[in-house]
Chains A and B, each alone.
Chain A
Amino acid sequence: MSERSLVHIKDRRTGMLVEATLIDGVTREDVELAEGQWDPYLQKELARLQSEGVPRNQWPQHAHWNWRDKQKAVEGVLAYRMFGIEHSSEIQGLMLCVTAGKTGRIESQKGKPLVYVHFLAAAPWNLGSMSREPRFSLVGTVLITVAIQLSLDEEFDGRIGLHSLRQADEWYEKACGMTNLGSDPSAHDLKYFEMTPEQASKFLK
Protein backbone atom coordinates (compact mmCIF):
# COMPACT_ATOMS: atom_id res chain seq x y z
CA MET A 1 0.00 0.00 0.00
CA SER A 2 1.35 3.39 -0.94
CA GLU A 3 0.26 6.62 0.76
CA ARG A 4 1.25 10.12 -0.21
CA SER A 5 1.35 13.26 1.91
CA LEU A 6 2.68 16.79 1.74
CA VAL A 7 6.17 17.77 2.96
CA HIS A 8 8.51 20.65 2.20
CA ILE A 9 12.07 20.70 0.89
CA LYS A 10 14.22 23.70 0.05
CA ASP A 11 14.98 24.76 -3.51
CA ARG A 12 18.58 25.92 -3.20
CA ARG A 13 18.42 27.96 -6.40
CA THR A 14 15.61 30.19 -5.13
CA GLY A 15 16.14 29.70 -1.38
CA MET A 16 12.42 28.97 -1.02
CA LEU A 17 10.65 26.06 0.60
CA VAL A 18 8.71 24.10 -2.01
CA GLU A 19 5.99 21.50 -1.68
CA ALA A 20 6.99 17.89 -2.23
CA THR A 21 5.28 14.54 -1.82
CA LEU A 22 6.27 12.04 0.84
CA ILE A 23 5.71 8.52 -0.48
CA ASP A 24 5.02 6.02 2.30
CA GLY A 25 5.29 2.65 0.58
CA VAL A 26 7.56 3.20 -2.40
CA THR A 27 6.40 1.04 -5.31
CA ARG A 28 8.42 -0.75 -7.98
CA GLU A 29 7.35 2.00 -10.41
CA ASP A 30 8.71 4.68 -8.06
CA VAL A 31 12.05 2.86 -7.83
CA GLU A 32 12.22 2.43 -11.59
CA LEU A 33 11.47 6.12 -11.97
CA ALA A 34 14.28 6.97 -9.53
CA GLU A 35 16.77 4.70 -11.24
CA GLY A 36 15.80 6.02 -14.65
CA GLN A 37 16.52 9.53 -13.40
CA TRP A 38 19.47 8.91 -11.06
CA ASP A 39 21.54 6.52 -13.18
CA PRO A 40 22.14 8.74 -16.23
CA TYR A 41 22.98 11.65 -13.92
CA LEU A 42 25.34 9.46 -11.88
CA GLN A 43 27.09 8.08 -14.96
CA LYS A 44 27.60 11.55 -16.38
CA GLU A 45 28.86 12.97 -13.09
CA LEU A 46 31.13 10.00 -12.37
CA ALA A 47 32.66 10.44 -15.83
CA ARG A 48 33.20 14.10 -14.99
CA LEU A 49 34.78 13.28 -11.61
CA GLN A 50 37.10 10.81 -13.33
CA SER A 51 38.09 13.21 -16.09
CA GLU A 52 38.79 15.91 -13.49
CA GLY A 53 40.98 13.50 -11.54
CA VAL A 54 38.85 13.63 -8.37
CA PRO A 55 40.11 10.82 -6.11
CA ARG A 56 37.72 7.88 -5.83
CA ASN A 57 37.44 8.27 -2.06
CA GLN A 58 35.72 11.59 -2.67
CA TRP A 59 33.09 10.12 -4.97
CA PRO A 60 29.64 9.78 -3.45
CA GLN A 61 29.42 6.44 -1.74
CA HIS A 62 25.96 5.38 -2.81
CA ALA A 63 26.84 5.58 -6.51
CA HIS A 64 26.42 1.85 -7.05
CA TRP A 65 23.43 1.08 -4.87
CA ASN A 66 20.83 -1.01 -6.58
CA TRP A 67 17.52 0.24 -5.29
CA ARG A 68 15.43 -2.05 -7.48
CA ASP A 69 16.96 -5.13 -5.81
CA LYS A 70 16.34 -3.65 -2.38
CA GLN A 71 12.72 -2.85 -3.15
CA LYS A 72 12.19 -6.34 -4.61
CA ALA A 73 13.85 -8.00 -1.60
CA VAL A 74 11.49 -6.39 0.88
CA GLU A 75 8.28 -6.11 -1.16
CA GLY A 76 5.35 -7.42 0.88
CA VAL A 77 7.37 -7.79 4.11
CA LEU A 78 5.45 -5.76 6.70
CA ALA A 79 8.47 -4.98 8.88
CA TYR A 80 10.13 -3.09 6.04
CA ARG A 81 8.97 0.40 5.13
CA MET A 82 10.31 2.24 2.12
CA PHE A 83 9.83 5.98 1.82
CA GLY A 84 10.57 8.46 -0.93
CA ILE A 85 10.31 12.17 -1.60
CA GLU A 86 9.03 13.34 -4.96
CA HIS A 87 9.14 16.82 -6.42
CA SER A 88 8.63 17.92 -10.03
CA SER A 89 8.01 14.29 -11.05
CA GLU A 90 11.49 13.40 -9.82
CA ILE A 91 12.44 11.21 -6.90
CA GLN A 92 14.56 13.42 -4.62
CA GLY A 93 15.45 10.81 -2.02
CA LEU A 94 14.77 7.27 -0.83
CA MET A 95 14.93 5.52 2.53
CA LEU A 96 14.38 1.94 3.65
CA CYS A 97 13.60 1.21 7.32
CA VAL A 98 12.96 -1.94 9.30
CA THR A 99 10.70 -1.92 12.36
CA ALA A 100 11.43 -5.38 13.76
CA GLY A 101 14.39 -7.21 15.22
CA LYS A 102 16.63 -4.22 16.01
CA THR A 103 17.34 -2.97 19.50
CA GLY A 104 19.37 -0.19 21.05
CA ARG A 105 23.14 -0.47 21.50
CA ILE A 106 23.64 2.58 23.72
CA GLU A 107 24.01 1.30 27.28
CA SER A 108 20.85 3.03 28.55
CA GLN A 109 18.85 1.82 25.52
CA LYS A 110 20.04 -1.79 25.37
CA GLY A 111 17.30 -4.25 24.48
CA LYS A 112 14.82 -1.49 23.64
CA PRO A 113 13.36 -1.63 20.12
CA LEU A 114 14.30 0.90 17.49
CA VAL A 115 13.69 1.70 13.85
CA TYR A 116 16.79 0.81 11.87
CA VAL A 117 17.45 2.86 8.73
CA HIS A 118 18.83 0.33 6.27
CA PHE A 119 19.49 2.80 3.48
CA LEU A 120 19.04 6.49 2.99
CA ALA A 121 20.08 8.43 -0.09
CA ALA A 122 19.39 11.75 -1.73
CA ALA A 123 19.19 12.06 -5.51
CA PRO A 124 22.64 12.70 -7.01
CA TRP A 125 21.71 16.23 -8.14
CA ASN A 126 21.14 17.11 -4.48
CA LEU A 127 24.63 16.07 -3.39
CA GLY A 128 27.47 18.54 -3.08
CA SER A 129 29.92 15.80 -4.02
CA MET A 130 28.10 15.13 -7.30
CA SER A 131 26.71 18.42 -8.39
CA ARG A 132 28.32 21.85 -8.66
CA GLU A 133 24.93 23.36 -7.88
CA PRO A 134 22.96 21.01 -5.65
CA ARG A 135 19.24 21.57 -6.25
CA PHE A 136 17.36 20.67 -3.07
CA SER A 137 18.22 20.43 0.60
CA LEU A 138 16.15 19.03 3.50
CA VAL A 139 15.74 15.65 1.77
CA GLY A 140 17.89 13.92 4.41
CA THR A 141 16.31 15.94 7.23
CA VAL A 142 12.77 15.05 6.17
CA LEU A 143 13.65 11.37 5.75
CA ILE A 144 15.30 11.20 9.19
CA THR A 145 12.21 12.93 10.64
CA VAL A 146 10.10 10.26 8.95
CA ALA A 147 12.22 7.54 10.59
CA ILE A 148 11.74 9.21 14.00
CA GLN A 149 7.99 9.57 13.40
CA LEU A 150 7.82 5.90 12.39
CA SER A 151 9.62 5.03 15.63
CA LEU A 152 7.10 7.10 17.61
CA ASP A 153 4.19 5.46 15.75
CA GLU A 154 5.63 2.04 16.60
CA GLU A 155 5.90 3.16 20.27
CA PHE A 156 9.70 2.96 20.12
CA ASP A 157 9.85 6.49 21.62
CA GLY A 158 11.77 7.96 18.66
CA ARG A 159 14.72 5.55 18.88
CA ILE A 160 16.46 5.05 15.53
CA GLY A 161 19.77 3.56 14.42
CA LEU A 162 21.78 3.56 11.20
CA HIS A 163 25.19 3.00 9.66
CA SER A 164 26.40 6.24 8.17
CA LEU A 165 28.48 6.47 5.03
CA ARG A 166 31.79 8.12 5.82
CA GLN A 167 31.02 11.46 4.17
CA ALA A 168 27.82 11.78 6.22
CA ASP A 169 29.25 11.00 9.66
CA GLU A 170 29.45 14.65 10.65
CA TRP A 171 25.87 15.40 9.67
CA TYR A 172 24.46 12.54 11.72
CA GLU A 173 26.57 13.44 14.72
CA LYS A 174 26.37 17.22 14.72
CA ALA A 175 23.22 18.19 12.84
CA CYS A 176 21.08 15.23 13.92
CA GLY A 177 22.63 14.96 17.39
CA MET A 178 22.96 11.18 17.21
CA THR A 179 25.42 9.20 19.31
CA ASN A 180 28.41 7.88 17.38
CA LEU A 181 29.13 4.35 18.58
CA GLY A 182 32.15 3.94 16.33
CA SER A 183 33.08 1.60 13.49
CA ASP A 184 31.08 -1.58 13.18
CA PRO A 185 33.10 -4.52 11.80
CA SER A 186 29.85 -6.31 10.92
CA ALA A 187 28.87 -3.47 8.59
CA HIS A 188 31.99 -2.84 6.52
CA ASP A 189 33.43 -0.74 9.34
CA LEU A 190 30.84 1.96 8.79
CA LYS A 191 30.14 4.04 11.85
CA TYR A 192 27.00 3.15 13.74
CA PHE A 193 24.85 6.02 14.99
CA GLU A 194 21.91 5.86 17.33
CA MET A 195 19.30 8.37 18.44
CA THR A 196 17.83 8.11 21.92
CA PRO A 197 14.28 9.30 22.76
CA GLU A 198 15.81 12.43 24.32
CA GLN A 199 17.90 13.13 21.20
CA ALA A 200 14.85 12.55 18.99
CA SER A 201 12.85 15.02 21.03
CA LYS A 202 15.67 17.57 20.79
CA PHE A 203 16.00 17.03 17.03
CA LEU A 204 12.30 17.73 16.49
CA LYS A 205 12.35 20.97 18.52
Chain B
Amino acid sequence: MKLNLSKEWLTKRAEQEENAEVSAGVFNLQMLETDQAKHEHALAAQAAQAETENSRLAFGRLINLWRRKKKLRMDELAEKADIDMGELVAIEHDIHYTPEPRTVYQLAKMVGLSVESMLQLSGNSVVRDSMLGHEAVRFAARSESVEKLSKDEQRALEEFVKFLNEK
Protein backbone atom coordinates (compact mmCIF):
# COMPACT_ATOMS: atom_id res chain seq x y z
CA MET B 1 0.00 0.00 0.00
CA LYS B 2 1.32 3.41 -0.93
CA LEU B 3 0.29 6.54 0.97
CA ASN B 4 0.85 9.95 -0.54
CA LEU B 5 0.95 12.26 2.46
CA SER B 6 2.63 15.64 2.20
CA LYS B 7 5.07 16.80 4.86
CA GLU B 8 2.83 19.80 5.49
CA TRP B 9 -0.16 17.53 6.14
CA LEU B 10 1.89 15.25 8.38
CA THR B 11 3.24 18.17 10.41
CA LYS B 12 -0.27 19.52 10.98
CA ARG B 13 -1.59 16.08 11.94
CA ALA B 14 1.39 15.35 14.23
CA GLU B 15 0.49 18.31 16.43
CA GLN B 16 -3.07 17.02 16.82
CA GLU B 17 -1.83 13.60 17.88
CA GLU B 18 0.83 14.75 20.32
CA ASN B 19 -1.31 14.96 23.43
CA ALA B 20 -3.78 12.31 22.44
CA GLU B 21 -4.26 8.60 22.96
CA VAL B 22 -5.10 6.69 19.80
CA SER B 23 -6.02 3.19 20.95
CA ALA B 24 -9.08 1.47 19.57
CA GLY B 25 -10.56 -1.98 19.85
CA VAL B 26 -12.41 -4.38 22.04
CA PHE B 27 -10.59 -6.16 24.84
CA ASN B 28 -11.14 -9.81 24.06
CA LEU B 29 -11.07 -12.15 21.12
CA GLN B 30 -14.73 -13.07 21.42
CA MET B 31 -15.92 -10.44 18.94
CA LEU B 32 -13.13 -11.31 16.54
CA GLU B 33 -14.09 -14.97 16.62
CA THR B 34 -17.79 -14.14 16.18
CA ASP B 35 -16.92 -12.00 13.16
CA GLN B 36 -14.78 -14.76 11.73
CA ALA B 37 -17.60 -17.29 12.12
CA LYS B 38 -20.00 -14.83 10.46
CA HIS B 39 -17.56 -14.29 7.61
CA GLU B 40 -17.10 -18.03 7.06
CA HIS B 41 -20.87 -18.51 7.20
CA ALA B 42 -21.31 -15.74 4.59
CA LEU B 43 -18.70 -17.37 2.32
CA ALA B 44 -20.43 -20.75 2.63
CA ALA B 45 -23.79 -19.12 1.84
CA GLN B 46 -22.22 -17.40 -1.19
CA ALA B 47 -20.83 -20.71 -2.45
CA ALA B 48 -24.20 -22.43 -1.96
CA GLN B 49 -25.94 -19.56 -3.77
CA ALA B 50 -23.49 -19.83 -6.69
CA GLU B 51 -24.11 -23.59 -6.89
CA THR B 52 -27.88 -23.09 -6.91
CA GLU B 53 -27.58 -20.42 -9.62
CA ASN B 54 -25.42 -22.74 -11.75
CA SER B 55 -28.05 -25.46 -11.39
CA ARG B 56 -30.90 -23.10 -12.27
CA LEU B 57 -28.95 -21.84 -15.27
CA ALA B 58 -28.54 -25.45 -16.46
CA PHE B 59 -32.23 -26.13 -15.79
CA GLY B 60 -33.29 -23.10 -17.82
CA ARG B 61 -30.93 -23.99 -20.67
CA LEU B 62 -32.10 -27.59 -20.66
CA ILE B 63 -35.73 -26.55 -21.04
CA ASN B 64 -34.82 -23.91 -23.62
CA LEU B 65 -32.76 -26.28 -25.76
CA TRP B 66 -35.25 -29.14 -25.48
CA ARG B 67 -38.11 -26.80 -26.48
CA ARG B 68 -36.18 -25.51 -29.49
CA LYS B 69 -35.14 -29.01 -30.51
CA LYS B 70 -38.83 -29.92 -30.54
CA LYS B 71 -39.50 -26.68 -32.46
CA LEU B 72 -42.00 -25.51 -29.88
CA ARG B 73 -42.78 -21.90 -29.08
CA MET B 74 -42.99 -20.98 -25.41
CA ASP B 75 -46.77 -20.72 -25.45
CA GLU B 76 -47.01 -24.12 -27.10
CA LEU B 77 -44.80 -25.81 -24.52
CA ALA B 78 -46.66 -24.04 -21.68
CA GLU B 79 -49.94 -25.31 -23.04
CA LYS B 80 -48.72 -28.88 -23.63
CA ALA B 81 -47.16 -29.08 -20.15
CA ASP B 82 -50.11 -27.28 -18.54
CA ILE B 83 -47.96 -24.67 -16.87
CA ASP B 84 -48.05 -20.90 -16.70
CA MET B 85 -46.22 -19.24 -19.60
CA GLY B 86 -44.84 -16.50 -17.34
CA GLU B 87 -43.23 -19.19 -15.28
CA LEU B 88 -41.68 -20.78 -18.35
CA VAL B 89 -40.23 -17.42 -19.39
CA ALA B 90 -38.75 -16.99 -15.89
CA ILE B 91 -37.31 -20.53 -15.95
CA GLU B 92 -35.51 -19.89 -19.24
CA HIS B 93 -34.30 -16.39 -18.45
CA ASP B 94 -33.98 -15.79 -14.69
CA ILE B 95 -31.38 -17.76 -12.72
CA HIS B 96 -32.79 -16.35 -9.47
CA TYR B 97 -36.23 -17.79 -10.12
CA THR B 98 -37.29 -20.96 -8.32
CA PRO B 99 -40.21 -22.57 -10.18
CA GLU B 100 -43.09 -24.27 -8.37
CA PRO B 101 -42.49 -28.00 -7.74
CA ARG B 102 -45.64 -28.78 -9.77
CA THR B 103 -44.22 -26.93 -12.77
CA VAL B 104 -40.96 -28.87 -12.47
CA TYR B 105 -42.92 -32.12 -12.23
CA GLN B 106 -44.91 -31.27 -15.38
CA LEU B 107 -41.75 -30.31 -17.30
CA ALA B 108 -39.90 -33.45 -16.14
CA LYS B 109 -42.79 -35.56 -17.44
CA MET B 110 -42.72 -33.65 -20.73
CA VAL B 111 -38.95 -33.95 -21.22
CA GLY B 112 -38.96 -37.52 -19.91
CA LEU B 113 -36.41 -37.05 -17.14
CA SER B 114 -36.38 -37.92 -13.43
CA VAL B 115 -38.38 -35.55 -11.26
CA GLU B 116 -35.75 -35.74 -8.50
CA SER B 117 -32.91 -34.53 -10.75
CA MET B 118 -35.11 -31.79 -12.16
CA LEU B 119 -36.11 -30.64 -8.66
CA GLN B 120 -32.43 -30.44 -7.72
CA LEU B 121 -31.52 -28.57 -10.91
CA SER B 122 -34.35 -26.10 -10.50
CA GLY B 123 -33.28 -25.17 -6.98
CA ASN B 124 -36.25 -26.84 -5.28
CA SER B 125 -34.03 -29.26 -3.42
CA VAL B 126 -30.36 -29.33 -2.45
CA VAL B 127 -27.98 -30.71 -5.06
CA ARG B 128 -26.75 -33.78 -3.22
CA ASP B 129 -25.00 -35.32 -6.19
CA SER B 130 -21.71 -33.52 -6.84
CA MET B 131 -21.54 -35.06 -10.33
CA LEU B 132 -24.91 -33.51 -11.15
CA GLY B 133 -23.62 -30.09 -10.06
CA HIS B 134 -20.48 -30.56 -12.15
CA GLU B 135 -22.35 -31.75 -15.22
CA ALA B 136 -24.89 -28.94 -14.87
CA VAL B 137 -22.12 -26.32 -14.93
CA ARG B 138 -20.46 -28.03 -17.91
CA PHE B 139 -23.75 -28.15 -19.76
CA ALA B 140 -24.61 -24.51 -19.00
CA ALA B 141 -21.18 -23.43 -20.19
CA ARG B 142 -21.50 -25.31 -23.47
CA SER B 143 -25.00 -24.14 -24.35
CA GLU B 144 -25.97 -20.65 -25.35
CA SER B 145 -29.37 -19.15 -25.76
CA VAL B 146 -29.51 -18.51 -29.52
CA GLU B 147 -32.39 -18.88 -31.88
CA LYS B 148 -31.16 -21.89 -33.80
CA LEU B 149 -29.84 -24.94 -32.03
CA SER B 150 -26.20 -25.33 -33.07
CA LYS B 151 -24.56 -28.72 -33.50
CA ASP B 152 -22.58 -28.14 -30.33
CA GLU B 153 -25.74 -27.25 -28.41
CA GLN B 154 -27.48 -30.27 -29.83
CA ARG B 155 -24.58 -32.45 -28.66
CA ALA B 156 -24.50 -30.74 -25.23
CA LEU B 157 -28.22 -31.29 -24.81
CA GLU B 158 -28.00 -34.94 -25.84
CA GLU B 159 -25.08 -35.65 -23.52
CA PHE B 160 -26.74 -33.92 -20.56
CA VAL B 161 -30.04 -35.71 -21.13
CA LYS B 162 -28.09 -38.99 -21.38
CA PHE B 163 -26.31 -38.22 -18.11
CA LEU B 164 -29.62 -37.41 -16.37
CA ASN B 165 -31.20 -40.57 -17.75
CA GLU B 166 -28.35 -42.76 -16.48
CA LYS B 167 -28.67 -41.44 -12.89
* A interface with B by C-beta (< 8 Å): 3, 5, 7-8, 10, 12, 17, 22, 24, 60-62, 64-65, 69-70, 73-74, 77, 79-80, 96, 98, 100-102, 117-122, 127-129, 134, 137-146, 149-150, 153, 162-165, 167-168, 170-172, 174-175, 186-188, 190, 205
Partner of A138, one of B14, B25, B32: B14
B17 at interface, CB cutoff 8 A: yes
For residue B27, give the distance in angstroms from its CB to the closest CB of chain A. Answer: 6
Partner of A122, one of B14, B22, B25, B32: B22
Chain B residues near A175: list those with CB within 8 A: 13, 16-17, 20
Within 8 A of A (CB), among B102-128: none
- Alpha-carbon distance between A149 and B1 when the two chains are bound, in angstroms: 8
B131 at interface, CB cutoff 8 A: no
Chain A residues near B147: list those with CB within 8 A: none
- Alpha-carbon distance between A102 and B31 when the two chains are bound, in angstroms: 12
* B interface with A by C-beta (< 8 Å): 1-3, 5, 7, 9-11, 13-14, 16-27, 29, 31-33, 35-36, 38-39, 42
- Alpha-carbon distance between A118 and B7 when the two chains are bound, in angstroms: 28
CB-nearest residue of chain B to A127: B21
- The answer to whether B1 touches A146 (Cβ under 8 A) is yes
Partner of A171, one of B10, B22, B26: B22
Chain A residues near B23: list those with CB within 8 A: 60-62, 120-122, 164-165, 167-168
Chain A residues near B27: list those with CB within 8 A: 64-65, 188
For residue A5, give the distance in angstroms from its CB to the closest CB of chain B. Answer: 6
- The answer to whether B21 touches A165 (Cβ under 8 A) is yes
Chain B residues near A127: list those with CB within 8 A: 21
- The answer to whether B1 touches A24 (Cβ under 8 A) is yes
For residue A32, give the distance in angstroms from its CB to the closest CB of chain B. Answer: 18
Interface centre among A3, A60, A65, A129 (most CB of B within 10 A): A65
- The answer to whether A100 touches B42 (Cβ under 8 A) is yes
Partner of A73, one of B22, B24, B29, B42: B29
CB-nearest residue of chain B to A8: B10
Partner of B13, one of A138, A170, A172: A138
Instruction: Please give 16 more A-B residue pairs, beta carbons under 8 A apart, in addition to A61-B23, A153-B1, A175-B13.
Output: A8-B5, A22-B3, A117-B25, A118-B35, A119-B24, A120-B22, A134-B18, A137-B17, A138-B17, A141-B22, A144-B22, A149-B1, A149-B3, A150-B1, A162-B24, A164-B23
Partner of A168, one of B2, B3, B22: B22
Chain A residues near B26: list those with CB within 8 A: 118-119, 163, 187-188, 190
- The answer to whether B14 touches A10 (Cβ under 8 A) is yes
Chain B residues near A102: list those with CB within 8 A: 35
- The answer to whether A165 touches B24 (Cβ under 8 A) is yes
- The answer to whether B10 touches A168 (Cβ under 8 A) is no
- The answer to whether B22 touches A5 (Cβ under 8 A) is no
Known: A17-B10, A24-B1, A74-B32. A168 touches B21 (CB 8 A): yes
- Alpha-carbon distance between A175 and B32 when the two chains are bound, in angstroms: 27
- Alpha-carbon distance between A171 and B9 when the two chains are bound, in angstroms: 17
